[in-house]
Amino acid sequence: MSASDVVEEYIAQLSRWGRWGPDDELGAFNFTSAETVRAAVAEVRSGEVISLTLPYDQRGPQPGGFRSNPQLITTATGTDHVAGAQEQLPWGPAKGFGYADDVVVMPLQCGTQWDALSHIFHRGQMWNGYSAAEHSSAGAKRNGIERWCGRMVLRGVLLDIALLRGVAALEPGYAISVADLEAAVQAEGVDVRPGDALLVHTGHLEARRNRWGDYAGGPAPGLSLHTAPWLAEREIAAIATDTWGVEVRPNEVDRFQPLHTVALVHLGIAFGEMFDLSRLAAACRAEGRWSFLLVAEPLPITGAVGSPVAAIAVR
Amino acid sequence: MSASDVVEEYIAQLSRWGRWGPDDELGAFNFTSAETVRAAVAEVRSGEVISLTLPYDQRGPQPGGFRSNPQLITTATGTDHVAGAQEQLPWGPAKGFGYADDVVVMPLQCGTQWDALSHIFHRGQMWNGYSAAEHSSAGAKRNGIERWCGRMVLRGVLLDIALLRGVAALEPGYAISVADLEAAVQAEGVDVRPGDALLVHTGHLEARRNRWGDYAGGPAPGLSLHTAPWLAEREIAAIATDTWGVEVRPNEVDRFQPLHTVALVHLGIAFGEMFDLSRLAAACRAEGRWSFLLVAEPLPITGAVGSPVAAIAVR
Amino acid sequence: MSASDVVEEYIAQLSRWGRWGPDDELGAFNFTSAETVRAAVAEVRSGEVISLTLPYDQRGPQPGGFRSNPQLITTATGTDHVAGAQEQLPWGPAKGFGYADDVVVMPLQCGTQWDALSHIFHRGQMWNGYSAAEHSSAGAKRNGIERWCGRMVLRGVLLDIALLRGVAALEPGYAISVADLEAAVQAEGVDVRPGDALLVHTGHLEARRNRWGDYAGGPAPGLSLHTAPWLAEREIAAIATDTWGVEVRPNEVDRFQPLHTVALVHLGIAFGEMFDLSRLAAACRAEGRWSFLLVAEPLPITGAVGSPVAAIAVR
Amino acid sequence: MSASDVVEEYIAQLSRWGRWGPDDELGAFNFTSAETVRAAVAEVRSGEVISLTLPYDQRGPQPGGFRSNPQLITTATGTDHVAGAQEQLPWGPAKGFGYADDVVVMPLQCGTQWDALSHIFHRGQMWNGYSAAEHSSAGAKRNGIERWCGRMVLRGVLLDIALLRGVAALEPGYAISVADLEAAVQAEGVDVRPGDALLVHTGHLEARRNRWGDYAGGPAPGLSLHTAPWLAEREIAAIATDTWGVEVRPNEVDRFQPLHTVALVHLGIAFGEMFDLSRLAAACRAEGRWSFLLVAEPLPITGAVGSPVAAIAVR
């Protein structure tokens, strides 16, 4: 069977287009509910909060070009205040008052981030069959990241594949299989439930931290295309990894990012990328407990195809 | 007593500089702990999630100029894909694959946001006595917003002053007094605890929604300067309102934003601005319950003096 | 004859697509040559230099939104130097050395500017018949503004229609006719030659200066659609006005900017917009001489569909 | 004599602060006049126009970071038009009309550019003694680049030091001496006059073109600090080179960019950097004529400390 055939075959078997009606823009977040929120909150024991987000700054993983690292721009500074350039405030007497202000220029997928359902297309369509032309220079009229606001209070499960394989980090090109996922579930004694967020720890981010090289676009470990049926069956809402693109690179078949095509475009699953899972993995290993409350709301940037995210695990 | 004297007097009475050592950059978040996180989580009953964040887009409250509304920039579009301009991908064979990508240009205080402790200065200094020159064109070396990551899992209390005063919205210029705050606490039967986030509902955002006018910088209801001792005594970590600047405008004394000077610069309290509290207030009123889990992590933009925030209340 | 028919009729009569071969991206600049450059230079008498460019800043004509005014961003400031934040330079000992640096964020058509031949499309095509899909999120592969570099040393002719009509400024909606153009040529005693730049003074910019209102997109005086054959016959290289869009608004026929469709897309003429012609018109009137050297090079921003321009008339 | 002493000595000997009054912001452009414009224009013989500006795009010389290459952003595309996303125009019936629009984000000194007199400070002051605090986050109140509009119609003289030394390119670290400048003047038989722009060809840009490496900030040939008296005596208005910083790097004395301190801050001379002089040098060599009309107007970006420039030589 040719590469394209495999992808089309999975789509034919698994696609959820239309499952929640012709106007759906939530995708797999239809598996979440007030009940899953309560279950997520019930995972909190100690009150420890672990941030999963890389710093957004010029030392980030991007090499420049297509997606640069975020640029912080100052529009008023403490030095302005100290040097006397703020003595005449436009709004009232200063009398010692000073201020700083700033702007960020940020490619929305430059660091820790969610892909929206408008991020990827297949043969002219995005999630639920909307035309790709619903995304233009004006942004996304359908499936924008803002559709998910209020949905990112999730039960999180960490599957630690690096631990399973007995390595600090999986090698670039390592394709995480269904067998790996099942083995991790068994080893950890954790259950994966509908509406969960699955966090997959490869160790690749830690191996490259601050020596990024081609981290943000090069070869990487990641999920095999052939995990698509398993992901579908588990009815997870979201999957996130400590790599730039969730799925293994180079791709297993002769086309670009086939798992995005199946699992994001046709299953409606949120893809989280460049999540910093090192501290969380260490905490899970130390305690032998692999589930937690994950809060990871995207910014409601209207029509955006992704969003940076201040993701936290609460344990 | 002159205006300056009042402010200097409050500073003399209340300042917490040095309280948590000469290197502290957390400010009032020192009142939070794993214990306060557990107490915050314990507020969840139904699993309802309410977003408190305004959409980030060109229809936002900014009139242009100093702080513009966020601009979404597309760097790859669905229309590119549909029109055939993505047939040659740089990364591998497309075979039907298409993508969209984007960048945001966002003044960090243009919409729903937190002020960092590096946002405001008084007489050449910021929180804990650091020189204002620690904030330059390179950003904040001290008190950047990133210092608060992992700290914004808080017990939230809504004080509904509009309800208390029997109006849809307080008038611009209305100074919320200690008596108002105390009356709301009484009427709601809620307790305010160390490490809490206090959300103050004025109705002003709802009165101006989508007809913003001078909402983002003009006269507004807000906290009186003279609530500073009360805020200090309650040991709250954060305060947020549905107005652009937390405190009443025009200011009560002849200087710009005196409560920022006392409560942000000298008490180290996080100020949250333009929080959209309408749905939350309605839910609290309906249920007669005024406390909840607030998760409102800032983006860890290194050296930034504020951050947009995807804030949620979980009830 | 319907509106569409008129436009299609002019295209059928006048289109120059293919005239200079299938690979041409110069359009009407094919009428320029070293000879026209010498003739342009020969117009200089006194050595007076008159800038035709509006300041690029936040007080410019844009109301925000689609095209905002240019934003100057500072990345290093004199106040940083004064406040001591530049004492450690990354490049060598400061010993008193300080510097400022900055970035501009500028919609390329926000102020005085040229439209490139990739700016406007008609029925899926741009100048010379290239597909509009040659312009994507990656910019213009064909007809980018950079194609015109080195071509903007032109003989300029000012046609002062405000003077002709005896008004300070033509009214919005006033359609400048062939009769007007011919009368101005007669009254001024000037000749219009192949390769010239035609500058048309309406007075509209002066009438709105610093009280811009809807100047940058609203009703305006401008050229009638029916001047297209006259513009073609004169073989001018460029036309520029002191209005936002060269042609009259509201449009004379029931479609948007029909003269752009005929004269830019099919004749390959450069359109210059928001040229500040007041000082130049005054100088021409004072001297009774209406031709000059125009130097108005675009910035070679690769793939851009327009460019700000530091245009000057030298007399 | 110590390094600082040399610089301070030159300043003591040469400084022009106050020479043209306490309010001067033109600096050495005071040497220009209508007469120098006429003389510049009189240099035109053939009508050949040679662009001296590098393309502004992502393939430019910047390595990222402090000053990135310019970023072209599209806000409307030909692909939008082709894919049908422009069928509903906000301004009138499309009937086949389509458009593209774009924005540039450009560090003002990322490519071919002029330094303004507000770009460099010495001991808290800029040209003519203004406080460096006149440049804040709001830009330059004094000595902004816009002060020079209408002044950049100059007689240009190319001094070809690479030719003089018999090399394709001078080596990084080669300090061009007064003897070199004098020898080139002699060899070329050209005169340097008050108000001229001096263009110095090192060959360094050509040696690095499209293999930029550290071109935009690393070691480079350039003018010796000790040319300062010669530059002062010649009363030139501007100097430009095909290197990133005009003066030799590493610097000859133990401080950063001492010639900027003397010649820009104290003589008020415009510094032009990364001018692409290859074609011009070839034309001068071929013809044995080293003077020409230089038109190199900066964009009037209010308060900017530099500007990209579409510079041309007309011969």
Q: Which residue has the tokens 């950063």?
A: D256
Of D83, D133, D136, the CB nearest to A133: D83
Q: Which residue of B has its CA nearest to A33?
A: B47
Q: Cβ(A193)–Cβ(A150) under 8 Å?
A: no
Per-residue pLDDT of chain D (315 residues; tens, 9 = 90+): 465 589 999 999 999 999 999 999 999 999 999 999 999 999 999 999 999 999 999 999 998 766 889 999 999 999 999 999 998 888 878 889 999 999 999 999 999 999 999 999 999 999 999 999 999 999 999 999 999 999 999 999 999 999 999 999 999 999 999 999 999 999 999 999 999 999 999 999 999 999 999 999 999 999 999 999 999 999 999 999 999 999 999 999 999 999 999 999 999 999 999 999 999 999 999 999 999 999 999 999 999 999 999 999 999
Fold of A3-64+107-314: Glucose Oxidase; domain 1 (3.50.30)
- pLDDT, tens digit, 9 for 90 and up, residues A188-231: 999 999 999 999 999 999 999 999 999 999 999 999 999 999 99
User: Distance from B112 to chain C by nearest Cα, in Å?
Assistant: 20
- HSE at residue D123, side-chain half, CA atoms within 13 A, is 9
Contact D136 A80 (CB under 8 A): yes
Can you tell me the distance from the alpha carbon of A256 to that of D226, in angstroms, rounded to the nearest whole number? 58
- pLDDT, tens digit, 9 for 90 and up, residues B114-154: 999 999 999 999 999 999 999 999 999 999 999 999 999 99
Name the interface residues of C facing B (CB cutoff 8 Å): 58, 63-65, 68, 71, 74-77, 80, 83-85, 105, 132-133, 136-138
Can you tell me the distance from the alpha carbon of A14 to that of A297, in angstroms, rounded to the nearest whole number? 27
User: Distance from D8 to chain B by nearest Cα, in Å?
Assistant: 28
Q: How does DSSP classify residue C97?
A: E
Name the interface residues of A facing C (CB cutoff 8 Å): 73-75, 77-80, 82-83, 85, 103, 137
- Identify all chain A residues contacting C74, using CB atoms and an 8 Å cutoff: 74-75
Ordered alpha helix ranges (H), D110-151? none
Burial state string for B59-98 with b = 16 or more CB within 10 A and e = fewer than 16 = ebbbbeebbbbbbbbbbbbbbbbbbebbeeeeebbbbbbb
For the question of whether the overall pTM of this predicted structure is more than 0.80, the answer is yes
- Identify all chain B residues contacting A81, using CB atoms and an 8 Å cutoff: 121, 124, 132
Secondary structure (3-state) at B187: helix
Ordered alpha helix ranges (H), chain C? 3-14, 34-41, 78-82, 161-165, 178-188, 204-208, 228-234, 258-259, 278-287
Q: Which pair of tokens denotes residue D189?
A: 């038989």
Q: What is the dihedral of CA D260, D266, D267, D273, to 10 degrees?
A: 20
- pLDDT, tens digit, 9 for 90 and up, residues B266-286: 999 999 999 999 999 999 999
- Could you tell me which of D59, D137, B139, D124 has the C-alpha nearest to residue C102? D137
Contact D77 B80 (CB under 8 A): yes
Strands C291-295 vs C153-160: parallel, antiparallel or unpaired: antiparallel
- What's the pLDDT at C66? 64
Residue C182 has pLDDT above 50, yes or no: yes
Q: How does DSSP classify residue B171?
A: P
- pLDDT, tens digit, 9 for 90 and up, residues C38-58: 999 999 999 999 999 999 999
Nearby residues of A98 by Cβ (< 8 Å), 6 or more positions away: A78, A80, A81, A82, A86, B120, B121, B122, B124, B132
Contact C137 B65 (CB under 8 A): no
- Could you tell me which of C262, C283, C216 has the C-alpha nearest to residue C243? C216
Amino acid at site C60 = G
φ/ψ of residue A122, rounded to 5: -135, 120
Nearby residues of D66 by Cβ (< 8 Å), 6 or more positions away: C75, C101
Q: Give the Å distances, CA to CA, from A165 to A169, A171, A202, C189.
A: 9, 11, 10, 88
Chain A contact probe: residue of D74, D102, D137 with most A CBs at under 10 A:
D137
- Identify all chain C residues contacting D312, using CB atoms and an 8 Å cutoff: 150, 153, 295, 297
Q: What is the 3-state secondary structure (H, E, C) of D249-302?
A: ECCCCCCCCHHHHHHHHHCCCEEEECCCCHHHHHHHHHHCCCEEEEECCECCEC
Q: Which pair of tokens denotes residue C78?
A: 């004199």
- What's the pLDDT at C63? 87
- What's the pLDDT at D2? 60
Name the interface residues of B facing D (CB cutoff 8 Å): 73-75, 77-80, 82-83, 85, 103, 137
Can you tell me the distance from the alpha carbon of C51 to that of C29, in angstroms, rounded to the nearest whole number? 22
Average pLDDT value over all residues in chain D: 96
Please write down the long-range contacts of A184-190, taking CB distance under 8 Å and 24 or more positions apart.
Answer: A184/A159, A184/A160, A185/A159, A187/A163, A188/A158, A188/A159, A188/A160, A188/A290, A189/A290, A190/A157, A190/A159, A190/A290, A190/A291
Name the percent of chain C lying above pLDDT 70. 98
Can you tell me the distance from the alpha carbon of D102 to that of D105, in angstroms, rounded to the nearest whole number? 10
pLDDT band at C1 (very low <50, low <70, confident <90, very high): very low
- pLDDT, tens digit, 9 for 90 and up, residues B185-208: 999 999 999 999 999 999 999 999
Q: Cβ(D133)–Cβ(D125) under 8 Å?
A: no
Amino acid at site C44 = V
Q: What interface predicted TM-score (ipTM) does this complex get?
A: 0.97
User: Distance from C73 to chain B by nearest Cα, in Å?
Assistant: 10
- What's the pLDDT at B262? 98
Contact D77 B79 (CB under 8 A): yes
Secondary structure (3-state) at A281: helix
- HSE at residue A149, side-chain half, CA atoms within 13 A, is 24
Q: Cβ(D277)–Cβ(D52) under 8 Å?
A: yes
- pLDDT, tens digit, 9 for 90 and up, residues A123-156: 999 999 999 999 999 999 999 999 999 999 999 9
- pLDDT, tens digit, 9 for 90 and up, residues A151-197: 999 999 999 999 999 999 999 999 999 999 999 999 999 999 999 99
- Could you tell me which of D310, D309, D306, D305 has the C-alpha nearest to residue D130? D305
Give residue B34's region: left, alpha or beta (phi > 0; psi -120 to 50): alpha
Q: What angle do CA D133, D135, D137 make, to 5 degrees?
A: 110
Q: Mean per-residue pLDDT for B296-305?
A: 98
- Identify all chain D residues contacting A89, using CB atoms and an 8 Å cutoff: none
- What's the pLDDT at C92? 78
Give residue C54's region: left, alpha or beta (phi > 0; psi -120 to 50): beta
Q: Cβ(B274)–Cβ(B111) under 8 Å?
A: yes
Strands D49-51 vs C101-107: parallel, antiparallel or unpaired: unpaired
DSSP string computed for B125-167: B-GGG-BGGGEETTEESSS-GGGGTT--EEEEEEEEHHHHHTS
- pLDDT, tens digit, 9 for 90 and up, residues C238-247: 999 999 999 9
Secondary structure (3-state) at B46: coil
Cis upstream peptide for A172 (omega within 30°): no
- What's the pLDDT at D4? 58
Amino acid at site D151 = R
Q: Mean per-residue pLDDT for C22-51?
A: 98
- What's the pLDDT at D3? 55
Q: Within its chain, how far is the Cα of D258 from the centroid?
A: 17
Q: Cβ(B44)–Cβ(B154) under 8 Å?
A: no
Residue A65 has pLDDT above 90, yes or no: no
Q: Which partners does chain B have (≥3 C-beta pairs < 8 Å)? A: A, C, D
Of D85, D103, D137, the CB nearest to B79: D85
Give residue B166's region: left, alpha or beta (phi > 0; psi -120 to 50): left
CB atoms under 10 Å from CB of C50, counted, come to 20
Residue B2 has pLDDT above 80, yes or no: no
pLDDT band at C230 (very low <50, low <70, confident <90, very high): very high
Q: Cβ(C74)–Cβ(C100) under 8 Å?
A: yes
Q: Which pair of tokens denotes residue D209?
A: 């073109």
DSSP string computed for C42-92: TT-SS--EEE----BSTTSS--BTTBPPPEEEEEE-HHHHHTTTTSS-SSS
Average pLDDT value over all residues in chain B: 96
- Identify all chain A residues contacting D87, using CB atoms and an 8 Å cutoff: none
Q: Cβ(A121)–Cβ(B99) under 8 Å?
A: yes
- pLDDT, tens digit, 9 for 90 and up, residues A96-111: 999 999 999 999 999 9
Provide CATH 3.50.30.50 ranges for chain B. Answer: 3-64+107-314
- Could you tell me which of C287, C277, C260 has the C-alpha nearest to residue C311? C277
In total, the C-beta contacts within 8 angstroms joining chain A to chain C are: 29
Query: Is A91 exposed, middle or buried (CB count within 10 Å of its CB: 0-12, 13-18, 19+)?
Result: middle
Can you tell me the distance from the alpha carbon of D75 to that of A68, in angstroms, rounded to the nearest whole number? 18
Q: How does DSSP classify residue C145?
A: G
In total, the C-beta contacts within 8 angstroms joining chain B to chain D are: 29
- What's the pLDDT at C51? 98
Secondary structure (3-state) at B194: coil
Query: Is C186 exposed, middle or buried (CB count within 10 Å of its CB: 0-12, 13-18, 19+)?
Result: exposed
- pLDDT, tens digit, 9 for 90 and up, residues C213-225: 999 999 999 999 9
Residues A185, A186, A191, A193, CA torsion sign: positive
pLDDT band at B63 (very low <50, low <70, confident <90, very high): confident
Of B73, B77, B103, the CB nearest to D80: B77
